[in-house]
Amino acid sequence: MRMLYIFNTSKIIAAIKNLLLFQPRTRFVFNAARDICLLKEAIQQNPWQLGAQKWIDVSQNMLEKYEYNLTARAVKERVHLLLDKKKKEEMKTL
């Protein structure tokens, strides 16, 4: 079964332009403000129930906000890391 993906062409064009400029990449560092933004975006998109395409949407929205291309995997792993940290903190208080 073939899956049909619908991409936002303006986002793809922006990503291609970034690749063509060959700018030296700086490392994206998460901080508290970026973590909060990421968690809000994940809650809004709800990728846990709506599937893998939504993780891609979350990463594309982060690209728009921070002009840094994060992979869907990196976004998903960061969200899960933050959730695991919160669970551990809550378990310590019990």
Q: Which residues, 6+ apart, have CB-to-CB distance to 46 below 8 Å?
A: 54
**String of b and e for 9-39 (b: at least 16 CB within 10 Å)?**
eeeeebeeeeeeeeeeeeeeeeeeebeebbe
- Block residue for tokens 């700018």: 23
Q: Is the pLDDT of residue 84 over 90?
A: yes
Give the CA diameter of the chain.
Answer: 53
| C-beta of residue 66 within 8 angstroms of C-beta of residue 34 | yes
What are the DSSP calls for 30-46, one per residue? --HHHHHHHHHHHHHH-
Q: Output the pTM of the full model.
A: 0.65
* 33-74 pLDDT, tens digit each: 888 888 888 888 888 887 788 888 888 888 888 777 788 888
Q: Please tell me which residue, 27 or 34, carries the higher pLDDT value.
A: 34
